[in-house]
Amino acid sequence: MPSLRDATRGRVLFGGDYNPEQWPEEVWADDVRLMKEAGVNSVTIGVFSWAMIEPRPGAREFGWLDRLLDLVHAHGIGVVLATPTSSPPPWMGALHPETLPRTEDGSVVNYGSRQHFCPSSPVYRRYAASLTEDLAARYADHPALTVWHINNEYCTHCWCDETAAHFRRWLASRYGTLDALDAAWGTAFWSQRYGAWAEILPPRRAQYMRNPAQELDFKRFTSDALMECYTAERDIVARHTPHIPVTTNFMPLWSGQDAWAWAEQEDIVSVDVYPDPKDPRGGQYNAMLADMTRSQAGGPWMVMEQAAGPVNWRAVNHPKPAGLNRLWSLQSVARGADALCYFQWRQSRQGAEKFHSGMLSHAGESGRTFREVKRIGAELAVIGPEVSGTGVPAEVAVLHDWDAWWSSTQEGRPSSLVSYTELVQAWHGALWDAGIGMEFARPGSALSGYRMVLVPQLQLLGDAAVDDLVAYVRGGGTLVCGFFTGVVDVDDRIRPGGMDARLRELFGIRTVHEWWPLDAGAAVECDGFRGTLWSEELEPDGSAETVAAYRGGELDGLPSVLRKGGAWYLSTLPEPGALRGLLVRAAAAAGVRPVLEGLPAGVEAVRRGGLLFLLNHGRTPAVVELPGRHLDLLTGAEADGVVRLDRYGVAVLRDVSA
Ligand code: GLA
């Protein structure tokens, strides 16, 4: 199987989406000149080129693409070649309106933007396959080709009749019989029992709350339907070029694709990362996406897109202050990225993204953005060969799961203020603040290699995953689990007692009598900290230690945090400092230490390969005491006991004490 290594060949890939079809060909020569100047060694081409390549049904206009690939190749730049199937040309929607998606209430999502295809449409799939076939045949032997990029950010949902038929086929293969489906969906409730497959619909707009199990299955189905589109194109390109790795770029922390399942179908796992420059926790968010993608990849991964400056899709789009692009870029490399690419190379002058930054912004080659890009390119040329292909060790795993995420978003739940992704971010952030390295794992994957496993929240847990957690703790592991976990089974059916019985035994809980969600901004006093968002009326079974109890209010005196051997249960969300304190305490008990002790606030330390990255997320300079002698690969300077970091500064250090 080809891998990212085949594309990087000992380097870190550096470049971005290149959309030269938006520019007269005279500009291309300028592009490649500046790419060379910036150290760009990879460009992603063709993402939105369908209408250029196939201007009429069945037509093929490859001439411009031939010239382009030849040009970049002549300059030693590799090509991540995209199948342009995320944005069908207008003729498809006009000729075949059934390829256009429909929303939950039946309205048509028209062409005129992008991603306007129904994943279940056989007509769309036929055109996409035919174009992919011809593209792959034409460029299979082109020496510039390094990676296949299938489609772009698969994110389309559709509720049309074709989708309904496809959904029924998917359900028939999952359940076999209507009786099994009725049982799984609990259709005895509200007279929802189905008498024929043909009666089943995607969860379209309805009078009141919809069946949550039906919604859960529709999310599973949609992820699978999109994946069929992906694998169909992947199989075509792989037939032509079995030696070229294939990827599709994930959206960051996006619920629509089960990334664990998708990653298994990719040679390279890639993601688009857009932390908000204004967000003081942007560095932590960037770290979390890196950890997630590296875990899905099981090793080095690819930043397919990031922004050199502002995006244009937030309410207010802030630019990156000097140094921030470099900081987050090198942070991704520290956390395992072997490819660092941007959306996009040259900032557009027309179209919906003309205010979205590019590596080469409207300010041109003398602009600050491009100068910083050049600096990053030059630095990657130095550290790339040192880090490429190396791993990032972690003794802690955070469990993350799409089924649990999907089930947590249903209507009619105890609190709509609880956000699965915010909980994952809060727990990841607590470890990040504590300087403890981590990765993500999927429930059901091997856990025995980790000293500590964290479950911020997994509302839905299958039986095997529950058994795994129990076995992990029995085997000596440390498990810290957040509230409202193990509440439903794989069919979204409630487990009696407020939590799976095996988990209750593990944590020393006899019964969860009630969940007591908290109002926005409210807090509940606990011993030594304040809990937010949630609390629980727990009856312990006497086998666990009460680490903290609720004080005051309805739950006065009841446990808020329990510990039974290696199993910890947090029935509330402690405020950030307290959550960090509890996780550090559990980590210490598990023998897990921070990457580096005693770091100043805002400084992150990551070890990758034989190198130590120090990253200053603070807006003021920082001084790090580091025993021994270290060579900073970025400056060539040696640090003797002390490393000084500018605001947003980075040092990439090799220990040369010996
Ligand atoms: C996504 C898309 C790109 C571009 C960027 C803008 O990541 O894949 O085509 O639209 O967003 O941030």
Nearest residue to 15 via CA among 46, 47, 40:
40
* Assigned domain for 532 exists: yes
Is 206 part of a structural domain of the chain?
no
Query: pLDDT for 563-602, tens place per residue?
Result: 999 999 999 999 999 999 999 999 999 999 999 999 999 9
Does one domain contain both 230 and 321?
Answer: yes
CA distance 603 to 591: 22
593 DSSP 8-state letter: -
Residue 177 in any domain: the answer is no
Q: Is residue 220 part of a domain?
A: no
The reply to whether 375 falls in a domain is: yes
Cis peptide before 410 (omega within 30 of 0): no
User: Of 531, 562, 589, which marks where a domain is finished?
Assistant: 589
**CATH code assigned at 453:** 3.40.50.880
Task: Decide: 311 in ligand 1 pocket, CB within 6 A.
Answer: yes
**573 with 625, same domain?**
no
Regarding whether 287 and 323 lie in a shared domain, the answer is: yes
Q: Is 152 in the pocket of ligand 1 (CB under 6 A)?
A: yes
Say whether pTM exceeds 0.95. yes
Of the candidates 531, 559, 589, which is a domain's last residue?
Answer: 589
Q: Does residue 484 sit in the same domain as residue 524?
A: yes
Q: Is 386 a catalytic residue?
A: no
Please tell me what DSSP assigns to residue 460: B
Asked, for residue 176, whether it belongs to a domain, the answer is no
Residue 589 class from Cβ within 10 Å (0-12 exposed, 13-18 middle, 19+ buried)? middle
The single-letter DSSP state of residue 535 is -
Please report whether residue 181 resides in a domain. no
Going by the DSSP 8-state scheme, the letter that residue 497 receives in this structure is: G
Dist. CA 461–CA 246, nearest whole Å: 31
430 φ, ψ (degrees, to nearest 5)? -65, -40
Check whether residue 148 and residue 30 sit in a common domain. yes
> What is the tens place of the pLDDT at every residue in 15-40?
999 999 999 999 999 999 999 999 99
Q: Are residues 357 and 456 in the same domain?
A: no
Kindly state whether residues 521 and 553 are assigned to the same domain: yes
User: Which residue lies with its CA nearest to atom 11 of ligand 1?
Assistant: 343
Q: At what angle do helices 178-185 and 212-240 cross, to 10 degrees?
A: 120
Pick from 537, 566, 589: which residue ends a domain? 589
Q: Does the beta carbon of 472 sit less than 6 angstroms from any atom of ligand 1?
A: no
Cβ(343) to ligand 1 under 6 A? yes
At residue 324, the pLDDT reads 98
Nearest to 90 by CA among 121, 64, 113, 120: 113
- For residues 365 and 458, membership in a common domain is answered with no
Same domain for 404 and 306: no
CA of 312 to the centre of ligand 1 (A): 10
Give the DSSP letter of residue 619: S
C-beta of 272 in contact with ligand 1 (< 6 A):
yes
CATH classification of the domain holding 248: 3.20.20.80
Decide if 162 is catalytic. no
The whole domain housing 248 covers 4-158+225-387
pLDDT tens per residue, range 38-81: 999 999 999 999 999 999 999 999 999 999 999 999 999 999 99
Which residue out of 153, 266, 372, 379 is catalytically annotated? 153
Say whether both 371 and 428 belong to one domain. no
CATH code for position 618? 2.60.40.1180
Q: How many domains does the chain have?
A: 3
Atom of ligand 1 nearest to the CA of 251: 7
Output the DSSP codes for 331-399.
HHHHTTEEEEEES-SB--SSSTTTTS--SB-TT-TTSHHHHHHHHHHHHHHHHHHHHTT-----SEEEE
Residue 39 has what pLDDT? 98
Q: Is the CB of 305 under 6 A from ligand 1?
A: yes
For the chain of 658 residues, list the mean pLDDT of each consecutive stretch of 10: 97 98 96 98 98 98 98 98 98 98 98 97 98 98 98 97 98 98 98 98 98 98 98 99 98 96 98 98 98 98 98 98 98 98 98 98 98 98 98 97 97 97 98 98 97 98 98 98 98 97 98 98 98 98 98 98 98 98 98 96 97 97 97 96 97 96
Same domain for 146 and 48, yes or no, is yes
Query: Does 410 lie in the same domain as 357?
Result: no
Give me ligand 1 centre to Cα 341, in Å. 12
Residue 371 lies in a domain: yes
Query: Which atom of ligand 1 lies nearest, measured to the CA of 274?
Result: 12
